[in-house]
Amino acid sequence: MEKKIRLYGQDVTVSCDEKCHKAWGLNSRPKVVLSETDALDIAWLSDDELDAAPVDPGTYEGGEGKPVKKSEMLNKWCVRECERSLIDEGQGSEPCVMDWSKRIYNKLHLHPEAQ
């Protein structure tokens, strides 16, 4: 799904994969810490490793929570909190939402086996 919106005074296109049932939010998606000495060396769990996400993960943006119905999709929560959406600011690149079928590594260069 794509939707054109005005964000911070700019026209942007927001894309998402429409899998709200698997959307936890950037700050709530379960993850594992991979290093005992580096708390930022993490991997967010893949969709297959997780059950359905909570309907209300407890995070809000501008008073808006995670959409419950398709008609609510791409609200403020989607744009600012959802890990399954992407903002294309028209820089010439093709927007591509994250592939949550596998773990997403914060420091991929430390984990070549995951590439």
Please tell me the predicted confidence (pLDDT) of residue 62: 86
Encode 29-46: b = buried (16+ Cβ within 10 Å), e = exposed: beeeebeeeeeebbbbbe
pLDDT at 48: 96
Q: Which residues of the chain register pLDDT less than 50?
A: none
Q: Where are the domains of the chain?
A: 2-114
pLDDT of residue 112: 86
Q: What is the pLDDT of residue 95?
A: 57
Give strand pairing partners of 32: 43
pTM of the model: 0.83
Structure confidence at residue 94 (pLDDT) = 58
What integer pLDDT is reported at residue 91 of this predicted model?
A: 61
Instruction: Report pLDDT for 5.
Output: 81
> Residue 34: what pLDDT?
96
| Tens digit of each residue's pLDDT (9 = 90 or more) over 86-102 | 888 666 555 578 899 99
What's the pLDDT score for residue 89? 67
Can you list the positions of beta strands (E) in 1-115? Answer: 2-7, 10-16, 31-33, 42-44, 85-88, 104-105
- pLDDT computed for residue 12 by the predictor: 82
